[in-house]
Every structure is written in C-alpha cells, then in structure tokens.
Amino acid sequence: MKSLNNAIAGQAVLAGSTSDHDLERMLLIRQYELSVLGLFSSGHVTGTTHTCMGQEYIPVALNPFIEEEDFVISNHRGHGHYIARYGDAQGLLAEVMGKQGAVCNGIGGSQHIRRDRFISTGVQAEGIAVGTGIAWSYKYKQQDNLVFVYIGDGTFGRGCVYESLNFAGIWNLPMVIVVENNGIAISTQQSYSMSGSIEGRVRGFDLDYLCIRSKAVNEIREQTGDAIHRVRKESKPLVIEFITDRVASHSKGDDTRSADELERVRENYWYNQMKASDKARVEKLEEGVRNQMQTLQELVIHREGAEWADYETRKNK
C-alpha cells in the first residue's frame, strides 16, 4: 500500500510540475518516434532507426541549460536530443526519409545529423571522443562554452570512453556527459556486461557525478542546475547518470525483454504516469502534436527526394 501511495504521489509531482511547453515538447518527441515507426511499417522509411521513447524527458529537462554556442553531441538514439534543442521535427523527418528540406540533405539519415553546434553519430563512443576534443578547443580558446555528450550505458564497454574520461579529468574540460542508463544494450542486460557501476568508473577518474532518478523535468533542473553552472564557471567535468527506461525495442521490433520487464517499463513510462494523473491536459496537448505530426508527415512524404538521392545518376551524366 505504501509503495502504491508513493507511486501515486510521484505521478502527481510529475504531472503537476511540468509546464505545457515542456510537456508539449516531450509529446512531440514521442509522436515523432511513433510516426517514424509507422513509416517504417508502411515502407516509406528504410535503413534503420532507434527511437527514444521512455527517455524523451531527459533532453527536454536539460535544454534550458544549453546555450547557443554550446555543443551537443548525440548518438544513435538521438531524435529527442535534436528535437528538444531545435523543435524541428520536419527537418529531421525529411532527413530520415531522404526528402527535400532535410537537415543534412538526407546524407546523414537517422543517426548522423549535423546542424550548427549539434552532431550525432551512430558509432558508439565516437561522440565522447570527439566531444573531448571540442571541449579541449573551447578551453584552449578560453571560451566559456560547454560540450554536452549523450552516451548510453552499453557504450561503457568501449575503451575510448575511458581515454576520454581520463583526458576530461586531466585537463579539466568543460564537459557535461549525460549517461542515459536504460539498463540494456540491444539485447544485452547490463548485469551481463558491466562489472561495478557507472558511478564507480566515473569517480575513478575524479570527475563530478550526479545520479538522477526523477522523470519530472523541473525536479531534474533543480537537481542538476547548480552542478551544470559550476562546469561552466570552473571547467570541471560532470557526469550525470539518468536511470531511465527504453520503452520501445532497440531499433525496430527487436525486443528480447520478458513480458514482466516490459510491463514494468510501461508502468514507469512518464507518458503513462502523466496520463493517469492529468489525463485531460495530456490528451489535449497530445491531440495538437498528433495533428501537427500527421500534417508534417503528409507534407514530407510527397516531397521530391533530397539532392543527394540523385547523386549516382547525376555523377554519371
């Protein structure tokens, strides 16, 4: 009974403290991901994609701390990171579909986006290594900008993560490393692949560390704001580990988790929790973003292919 009461209180905090603006952005990311999955099923999108459902609140919570000149480095599961920063679902959808109006002319696709000071890469751990270099250049040029790097827990299996953490520590680089710990990497549960903990590994390099379990964006901002400001002022790297859940499959339909585990994940999904405690508001905002995505989807589907799609043909002319 106690845990049920706590869960209900948690839902109320989640819903009550989230502004319409933030909730709308989280719903837009969710709806974007649903659109992409639907477009895969109908054959309009090919290749691969990884949706961030379950993790939408993380970049939305952090976005107010990111200044224009700061760098954001995302990974294979990066749609939410991009939409939280730019709100540009249209450019991203066109990118994934290789249509005109795409953020990078359709060359990057789902995983390799470049826009101003935002890049994503599907190569695990490439982002943290590149981010370390960019942070070093910021420090060298005495710019007070930050590099935000998003990384998954499974990526802690790659050696260059530790080289990057080491350099970040030695040189005191202005980095905020955001670990989205969803406990699984494709089909490998973390208990099969990680000895010790992310905290233990990070502290081994003497970096500042925070663990966030909340899914309420304002609460997250309260828990992380001072530490992020300190990185900007003092240039001491910070790792923020979010304990989160991947709601959908790894990419498309490749989910090996048990029914019990999936039920737990769905129960913990901020979307379901908010819907349970603030149904009318969620549904009203959701209708708006659903219509927005539907209109956008129709628009993008009927566009001509992006320039690069003709590359081979044009090259041979």
Residues that bind ligand TPP (CB under 6 A): 76-77, 122-124, 152-155, 182, 184-186, 246, 250
Q: Which is nearer to ligand TPP, 79 or 117 (CB)?
A: 79
| Torsions phi, psi for 59 (to 5 deg) | -65, -30
Considering the complex, what minimum distance in angstroms separates the CB of residue 106 from ligand TPP?
Answer: 20
Considering the complex, what minimum distance in angstroms separates the CB of residue 29 from ligand TPP?
Answer: 14
Taking Cα atoms as reference points, which of 309, 299, 302 lies closest to residue 105? 309
Considering the complex, what minimum distance in angstroms separates the CB of residue 167 from ligand TPP?
Answer: 19
Q: Which is nearer to ligand TPP, 145 or 155 (CB)?
A: 155
> What Rg, from alpha-carbon coordinates, does the chain have?
20
Task: Please give the full DSSP string across 275-309, using - where no structure is assigned.
Answer: HHHSHHHHHHHHHHHHHHHHHHHHHHHTSPBPGGG
Q: How far is CA 148 from CA 75, 106, 258, in A?
A: 12, 24, 33
Task: Please give the full DSSP string across 117-155, using - where no structure is assigned.
Answer: TEEE-SSTTHHHHHHHHHHHHHHHTT----EEEEEEGGG
Q: Which is nearer to ligand TPP, 147 or 198 (CB)?
A: 198
Classify residue 99 by its DSSP letter. B
Q: Which is nearer to ligand TPP, 65 or 242 (CB)?
A: 242
Given a contact cutoff of 8 angstroms between Cβ atoms, the answer to whether 307 and 42 are in contact is no
Considering the complex, what minimum distance in angstroms separates the CB of residue 152 from ligand TPP?
Answer: 2
Q: Which is nearer to ligand TPP, 18 or 74 (CB)?
A: 74
Considering the complex, what minimum distance in angstroms separates the CB of residue 183 from ligand TPP?
Answer: 8
Q: Which is nearer to ligand TPP, 144 or 163 (CB)?
A: 163
Considering the complex, what minimum distance in angstroms separates the CB of residue 153 from ligand TPP?
Answer: 5
Considering the complex, what minimum distance in angstroms separates the CB of residue 241 from ligand TPP?
Answer: 12
- Strand runs (DSSP E) across the chain, as ranges? 71-74, 114-115, 118-120, 147-152, 175-181, 184-185, 188-189, 208-212, 238-243
Three-point CA angle 202, 203, 204, nearest 5°: 90
Whose CB is nearest to ligand TPP?
152
**How long is the chain?**
317
Q: Which is nearer to ligand TPP, 63 or 155 (CB)?
A: 155
